[in-house]
Amino acid sequence: MSLSTISLPDHAGPSEIIWHYIYIVICTLVFMFLIAPLFVVIPLSFNAEPYFTFTKEMISLKPEAFSLRWYQDFLSKEIWQVSIRNSFVIAFGSTILATFLGTLAALGLSRPEMPYRAAFMGILISPMIVPLIITAAGIFFFYASLNDYVQMTGSYFGIIIAHTVLGTPFVVITVTATLFGFDQSLVRAGAMLGADPTTVFFKIIMPLILPGVISGALFAFVTSFDEVVVVLFVASVDQQTIPRQMWAGIREQISPTILAVATILICVSIMLLATVELLRRRSERLRGISPG
Amino acid sequence: MTNAANAIAGLETADGTPLKAALARALRRKRMRAVLLVMPLFIFVFLTFLYPIGLMLFRSIDNPLVSEHMPRTVAALKDWTADDLPGEAAFAALTQDLEDARKSGAAGRLATNLNYQTGGLRSTITRTARQAGKLEAPFKEKLIEISPAWGNIETWATIKLLSDRFSMVQYAAALDRKYDIHQNVVPLPEDQQIYVTLFMRTLWMSIVVTVSCLLLGFPIAYMLASLPLKHSNLLMILVLLPFWTSLLVRTTSWIVLLQTQGVLNDLMVFFHIINDAGRVQLIFNATGTVIAMTQILLPFMVLPLYSVMKTISPTYMRAAQSLGAHRFLAYGRVYLPQTLPGIGAGCLLVFILAIGYYITPALVGGQDGQMISNMIAFHMQKSLNWGLAAALGGILLVGVIILYWVYNKIVGVERLKLG
């Protein structure tokens, strides 16, 4: 991936060549600004010393300067074990709910007959736009008012519901995007050839929107997996999650264990991104948009 | 045209209904089906999102404690004009009310509630409530003896002010204003003004973040749009990876990079740009918040810019240049105007997201990098002044809704892209 692929015209004068290289340097710096913070954390998580900067020994690549002690710490502490389990339980629960509700709504929203589409869309996307602190405060008041009937604060159910509402906009967006330009005549063709609506859905619509559904689900999963504000407001000590544990760790004093966790999470996000990219290309290929 | 309409009007379906009615019914049924698909999520969002936010907004104007637990005092103060201390009847009513409040266990909450409005009233209320049962008429002198605050017109004006169940008291406080004894809204003394400054700082920081995102995002969006897809897809991953990475991870990374003992300062010392004593404080202040937020929100700028730039044909630029325009003039007059929809979409989105940011300022903001969300969190969790938190949230929410509405009008929410 060389940046020189942006070619200069043959007739470029010296000033144009200079500007061209300045431009490439600027772009490289911006890309570094985006990515560098992530990659600084990775080597530091193998630091043998409890410092957040490179020791002289690390720079001279002495093997004893590196260790896995922070990973051991992460895997051996019970609080982290509990957090991992809780994060997965909550994220899975809310992903399933959000994907189901979001996909249904997206199917309705992309039908040409849908009345007030823009208004509905605006409302259904709003959980992504409204500041989290407002949502969290509102949900806190709401749950507190329900506590006489059902215990909502300090319950897994309460957090799963709150995370579901935060995740649905992503599902709605990705699924409507795959349905954008969906040829409705395919549905009619299916019906004309004798398929009932259920068959049409599973044989025609589902394969086409599946990439969108999966990437929406992944977005919803990440949203829940990374969410901390609602958890801070409505969870009790029993619902310790990874982000909450990191939040506490950063606020009190950063132990390099957090860097180990961060490294693991970065690897997870690389895998998720790769999955979504592959799905996107598959979806574009299926829908006949030029392959990337 | 009319002939065709008449022709349709005359047609009938197999079972004898006019075709027009049959078509209308079919359309209605299709519409119903679309709405039915959307309904489950709509109801869900209504119950778990819209209603809770409504509940919060309600709390910002709702003030039930005084009207509920001090009914006699409220009645006694009904015609009181705050020119002089109220009469013996009001003092008697107050003694009765506070005695009842102590019995029902509401005195503490009442004291806290009144104390938010006028500092120092907490101890006055709790002390008076404790002794109210033992007092006998006449009450006026005895109450003033228990706490001289009862000899203050201001104390009584506070009770009268809070005796309305619904009021804008919290919004006044959220805008650094208060009600004086005659119930006029007046600005707080300058040394007590916090929130307007904080709102201004939030706006200012969001603008700085938005402009930084635009300045950094524009060149790389242009690069992504002008490279062949095979290469731009690889670079696009660099934009999307931070997008997929946990916010807390990214914030941690910035702390590691920017701390005074962090990587960047170490590098600068190593290259003798600064000496060891002159390490720069880059984080736990407004600078750190702006840097971290710019990186976190940059993908939201790059994606809409990229999708607009992708549609701009390079022939316009070539035409402008072959007509004699200098490269920069061609960029400024031909290319830039065509990217405006992307710039508008990106800036609005980044600004909307920036203005309500909480996590990053809370972790790297230090003292002067705090934003309005952090103050809301403070009142929700620490000072427990939920009414004020709700009012601050209400003001922030109105701002966000207006911006979102504008975004929806000019960009269209269905064009939001996530990669």
The confidence band for B14, taking pLDDT boundaries of 50, 70 and 90, is confident
Query: What is chain B's mean pLDDT, rounded?
Result: 89
- Closest chain A C-alpha to B140 CA, distance in angstroms: 40
- B 341-370: CB under 8 A from A: 352-353, 355-359, 363
Greater confidence, B192 or B56?
A: B56
- Which is nearest to A93 in space by CA: A152, A165, A176, A172? A165
Q: How many CA atoms lie within 13 A of B386 on its CB side?
A: 16
What mean pLDDT comes out for the span B300-311?
91
pLDDT tier for residue B153 given thresholds of 50, 70 and 90: confident
ipTM for the whole complex: 0.90
* B176-216 pLDDT per residue, tens: 998 888 888 989 888 888 999 999 999 999 999 999 999 99
In terms of residues, how long is chain A?
Answer: 292
What's the residue count for chain B?
A: 419
Distance from CA of A142 to the nearest CA of B (A): 5
Partners of B417 on chain A (C-beta within 8 Å) are 173, 177
B249 touches A at CB < 8 Å: yes
Nearest to B393 among A104, A124, A137 (CB): A137
Mean pLDDT of A251-272: 87
- Closest Cβ opposite residue B52 in set A27, A51, A142: A142
The rounded distance, in Å, linking the Cα atoms of A226 and B250 is 11
Q: Searching chain A, which residue's CA lies closest to the CA of residue B40?
A: A101
Is the pLDDT reported for residue A289 higher than 60? no
- Number of A to B CB contacts under 8 A, please give it: 295
Name the residue facing B380 among A38, A137, A280 (closest C-beta). A137
The confidence score (pLDDT) of residue A3 equals: 45
Residue type, B159: I
Nearest to B376 by CA among B174, B109, B110: B174
Residue B29 buriedness (CB in 10 A; 0-12 / 13-18 / 19+): exposed
Classify domain B195-415 at the CATH class level.
mainly alpha
**Residue A122 Cα, gap to closest chain B Cα (Å):** 6
Cα R_g (chain A), whole angstroms? 24
B294 — pLDDT class (breaks 50, 70, 90) = very high
Q: Please determine, for residue B259, whether its predicted confidence score (pLDDT) is greater than 90.
A: no
| Chain B hits for A54, Cβ within 8 Å | 263, 266
- Chain A partners of B363 at a C-beta cutoff of 8 Å? 247, 250-251
Looking at chain A, which residue has its C-alpha nearest residue B60?
A138
| Res. A17: pLDDT tops 50 | yes
Measured in angstroms, the CA of B239 and the nearest CA of chain A are apart by: 7
Which among B45, B376, B416 has CB closest to A127? B45
Report pLDDT digits (tens) over A267-281: 999 998 888 888 888
**C-alpha angle A89/A93/A99, rounded to 5°?**
145
Give A40's pLDDT tier (boundaries 50, 70, 90). Answer: confident
Cα–Cα distance list, A188 to A192, A196, A197, B188 (Å): 6, 11, 10, 68
How many Å lie between the alpha carbon of B414 and the closest alpha carbon of chain A?
A: 7
Q: What is the pLDDT of residue A4?
A: 45
pLDDT value, residue A5: 47
> What pLDDT digit, counting tens, does each position of B66-122 carry?
888 899 999 888 888 888 888 888 898 988 898 889 888 888 888 988 888 888 888
Q: Binning pLDDT at 50, 70 and 90, where does residue A164 land?
A: very high
Report pLDDT for B412: 79
Per-residue confidence band for B266, with pLDDT thresholds at 50, 70 and 90: confident
CATH number of A77-252: 1.10.3720.10
Window from A47-61, A99-113, B395-409 with minimum mean pLDDT: A47-61
Tens digits of per-residue pLDDT, A183-204? 888 888 998 999 998 898 888 8
Query: Could you tell me the residue ranges of all domains in chain A?
Result: 3-65, 77-252
Q: A190 and A200 in contact (C-beta within 8 Å)?
A: yes
pLDDT at A59 over 80: no
Distance CA B404, CA A108 (A): 23
Tell me if B247 sits within 8 A of B240, measured CB to CB: no
In this prediction, residue B418 has a pLDDT band, given cuts at 50, 70 and 90, of low
Backbone phi, then psi, for B275, in 5-degree steps? -95, 170
pLDDT at residue B355, rounded to an integer: 95
- CA–CA separation, B263 vs A98, rounded Å? 40
Measure in Å the smallest separation between the Cα of A235 and chain B Cα atoms. Answer: 13
Which residue of B lies nearest to A22 if distances are taken between CA atoms? B219
The nearest CA of chain B is from the CA of A207 a distance in Å of 19
Testing the interface with B: which of A130, A145, A285 to mutate, by most B Cβ within 10 A? A130
- CB-nearest partner of B373 from A31, A41, A131: A131
* Domain edges within chain B: 2-47, 64-166, 195-415
Give the per-residue pLDDT at A109. 92
Q: Could you tell me the pLDDT band of residue B47, with boundaries at 50, 70 and 90?
A: very high
Residue numbers of B between 264 and 283 with CB closer than 8 Å to A? 266
Q: Which residue of B has its CA nearest to A1?
A: B231
